[in-house]
Amino acid sequence: MIQHLIHKFSLPLCRLLPVMLLLSCALVSQVCAQSSLISVGLGPSLVPDRPGYADSTASVDPGHWHLELGGSLVPDQDATMTGLVRYGLAHGWELRLMSPTLTHVYPYEGADGVEITPDMAVGGTQFGAKWAIRWARLEWSVVSMVGLPLAGVEKAFTPDALFSLGTQISHSLNRRLSAGLALKYALHDGFIYGQDVAYGEALTHLFGMVGALTWSEVGYSLFTQAGAELFGEVITPLIGGGTTIRLTRGSQIDLSLDAPLTSEGVTARYMAGLTLSW
């Protein structure tokens, strides 16, 4: 009964997810604007890992938390929702827990002309840590994540990595402009049907390298990025850009566009997110 209800309501809900996320961001923005402007008072620093390809080169302050929510939309193709919780363990160290990625693929027409409505796809949870350090105008961080098994669903798909290791370096060119480079490795699984996720099927390696330029001002920033990923035997060039808007000292929204260059041309993916720190 529960699985039937999930299947019945997943399609309209997933179509509304990006809109709901943007409306939530707008509501938070209005509330925060009425309550307080960005200040330089006491409080935890805000160092989101959203929305670029690379994670930030800073860790969460010791004893404080980050909650990062995001959604993406490829029109007439798919929509996703993700969540990340980060906790500052010590200076330069943090623990990380990523929620299962929910992926909805829009209905499509099969070879026999019959419309197919895929089930909601659920990715695996990931747990890991980040180490960050700074030398003068150079910042460097390393993130390692391990996938946790997912069970109890009718169908599961793990777009998240079973294991991933990433490093990112950022160099301040001046007070506003910085350049960064991100390198990533991940071990992915494929489609898995059944009641449990049996890791070890269709394992595929992913390698990625992306460079970025970021222009930062008080209250907002702009970034552009370009690079490529090698997934199995397929190379996908990546380009994109976006902006972040600071609401208060402890909150931020982000809007961005990612445009992978596939054999079918450019596929635009629209993304939005909200980050809270306390």
Return d(Cα 95, Cα 127) in angstroms, integer.
Answer: 8
Return d(Cα 246, Cα 248) in angstroms, integer.
Answer: 6
Q: Assign domain 2-277 to its CATH architecture.
A: Beta Barrel (2.40)
Q: Please indicate whether residue 19 or residue 47 has the higher confidence score (pLDDT).
A: 47
pLDDT confidence of residue 190: 56
In the chain, the percentage of residues whose pLDDT exceeds 70 is: 74
pLDDT in tens, 160-219: 678 899 999 999 999 999 999 999 999 876 544 433 344 445 678 889 999 999 999 989
pLDDT in tens, 64-79: 999 999 999 988 888 9
**Domain extents in the chain:** 2-277
